[in-house]
Amino acid sequence: MSTSKLIKVFVYGTLKKSEPNHHWLTTSSNGYSKFISCGQTSEKFPLVIGTRYNIPFLLDKKGTGNNIQGEIYEVDEMMFGKLDELEDYPTHYDREIQDIKTSDGTIVPCWLYLIRNFPEVLLSRKFLTSYTNCKEQQYCERSKRDPNIKARNDLNF
Ligand code: PCA
């Protein structure tokens, strides 16, 4: 049996079921993951879509925006490491523990990824409650992006 520690992660963007990066959570060679519950953040956050690649960003400005809907997963350290790799933590996204409320009112502290030191212009975008990839603003996965533009420098687009 694995002795790896189990960690709770709240995903609100492309890692959710039916979204473009969900396969990271279901690929068993990435480690262990198990869906626990749907939930929403106890705090309000601005969740916007930004850059030319239509990436969902949860901005570090608590109290602005909405209580964000997403999914709670339990993952092992190996999977958590893979998610950090996908989110380019800590260069691009940072992460922190936030209280997530499930439908029966239980509070589950979970890690979530968020963007600190973002350009103010992102606060003029529409604040979402729940992210879905759609045809009008299609998410562009990292392998298809311009390698000459670093995501961190591209937050304005
Ligand atoms: N993936 C992470 C953070 C933003 C994104 O697209 C998530 O789904 O929570």
CB atoms within 10 A of CB 4: 14
Residue 123: beta bridge partners?
Answer: none
For the question of whether the overall pTM of this predicted structure is more than 0.85, the answer is yes
Residues 6+ apart with CB under 8 A from 107: 42, 99, 100, 101
Going by pLDDT thresholds of 50, 70 and 90, the confidence category of residue 135 is: confident
Q: Is any ligand 1 atom within 6 A of the Cβ of residue 113?
A: yes
Query: Separation of 112 CA from ligand 1 center, angstroms?
Result: 8
Q: Is any ligand 1 atom within 6 A of the Cβ of residue 71?
A: no
Rounded mean pLDDT of 14-38?
Answer: 97
pLDDT in tens, 62-118: 999 999 999 999 999 999 999 999 999 999 899 999 999 999 999 999 999 999 999
* Whether residue 151 has pLDDT greater than 70: no
Going by pLDDT thresholds of 50, 70 and 90, the confidence category of residue 144 is: confident
Q: Is any ligand 1 atom within 6 A of the Cβ of residue 50?
A: no
Protein residue whose Cα sits closest to atom 4 of ligand 1: 13
CA 93-127-12 angle, 5° bins: 45
Q: Is 87 part of the annotated catalytic residue set?
A: yes
pLDDT for position 156? 55
Calpha distance 108→49 (Å, rounded): 26
pLDDT in tens, 5-23: 999 999 999 999 999 999 9
pLDDT for position 134? 83
Tokens in use for 118?
A: 């973002």
Rounded to the nearest 10°, the torsion over CA 75, 77, 78, 83 is: 60
* Whether residue 153 has pLDDT greater than 80: no
Calpha distance 132→128 (Å, rounded): 10
pLDDT in tens, 42-52: 999 999 998 88
CB 131 within 8 A of CB 47: yes
Burial 48-71, CB ≥16 within 10 A → b, else e: bbbbebebbbbbebeeebeebbbb
Q: Which atom of ligand 1 is nearest to the CA of 11?
A: 9
